[in-house]
Amino acid sequence: MKGIWSGDVDLGDGLLQKAYESHKRRIYFLSNLGGTRLVNLAETVEQLAFVKAQIIEDIDFVCSCELPSMLIFSHFILFFQV
C-alpha cells in the first residue's frame, strides 16, 4: 500500500521510526530531483553525487547482510528438516 511502512518490525528502541523518517526524506528528495528547485547544472551534479553516495551505502549495507542472512536461513532449514 502506498504511504504505509512495510519494513522491519518495531523493537521499541526508536530506530525503526528514524529509519522510516530517513526513508521519507529520501523519497521526497528523489521525487523533487530535476524539478523547479534545480536552478543550475552545478546544483544538479551535486545532488546526483549525493544520490549516488546513498545508493552505494545501500548496496554496501545489503551486501554486508547477505551472508549472515543466508547462514541463519540455512541453519533454520537444517533444524526443521524432518
C-alpha cell recorded at residue 27: 523519497
d(CA 43, CA 64): 32
C-alpha cell recorded at residue 38: 534545480
Contact yes or no for 16/10 (Cβ under 8 A): yes
User: Is pLDDT above 80 for 15?
Assistant: no
As a whole number, the mean pLDDT across the chain is 78
Q: Which of 11-15, 25-29, 33-37, 50-54 has the lowest mean pLDDT?
A: 33-37
Domain ranges across the chain: 1-32, 41-82
Confirm whether pTM is higher than 0.75: no
12 three-state secondary structure: coil
Q: What is the pLDDT of residues 45-76, one digit of tens each?
A: 888 898 899 889 888 888 888 888 889 888 88
**Higher per-residue pLDDT: 65 or 32:** 65
Q: Which residue has the cell 523493537?
A: 11
